[in-house]
Amino acid sequence: MSTILNFLSNDHRACDDLFASAESAAAQQNWHSARALFDQFQTAMSHHLSMEETVLFPAFEARIGNSMGPTQVMRMEHEQIRGLMQSMAGAVDANDKDAYLGLSETLNMLMQQHNMKEENMLYPMSDQVLSSDRDSVILAMQAIA
């Protein structure tokens, strides 16, 4: 089976691809396709955040006996990501290219910094501290609807 690092990093890439496709459709003011691609991105990203919040973070916190560490910062950033996605949905609904592109630039920066912290720190730490439970943690994440 995969590592937590591989499994979740691959999912970051899949979300990034949808994000980039939605952004280029919005830049071309192809709103029909921008709406569909943005919806796919938002669904994929929300799923990713909930795999982390409902499976990975609690497992990590239980193992290190602390919920105020790195996962607390990640949870706060997830809320910022959700807020930006909500504003972007409004910009797509309004067919507002400037608003969409401004928000997507902000989200992209936040998302890349967030993902880098996870991929460089939290996921490798998780693979270490959860080593004996790694497969079951990945299976539990795959089972999240």
> For binding to Fe ion (CB under 5 A), which residues are involved?
52, 74, 118
Minimum distance from residue 56 beta carbon to Fe ion (Å): 8
5 and 53 Cβ atoms separated by less than 8 Å? no
Q: Nearer Cβ to Fe ion, position 26 or 74?
A: 74
- Cβ neighbourhood burial of 128 (10 Å; 0-12, 13-18, 19+): exposed
Q: Nearer Cβ to Fe ion, position 96 or 119?
A: 119
138 and 7 Cβ atoms separated by less than 8 Å? yes
DSSP type of residue 109: H
C-alpha–C-alpha distance, residues 40 and 89, integer Å: 12
Q: Nearer Cβ to Fe ion, position 23 or 52?
A: 52
Minimum distance from residue 84 beta carbon to Fe ion (Å): 14
Minimum distance from residue 53 beta carbon to Fe ion (Å): 8
Please tell me the total number of residues recorded for the chain in this structure.
Answer: 145
C-alpha–C-alpha distance, residues 4 and 11, integer Å: 11
Q: Nearer Cβ to Fe ion, position 55 or 103?
A: 55
Minimum distance from residue 114 beta carbon to Fe ion (Å): 6
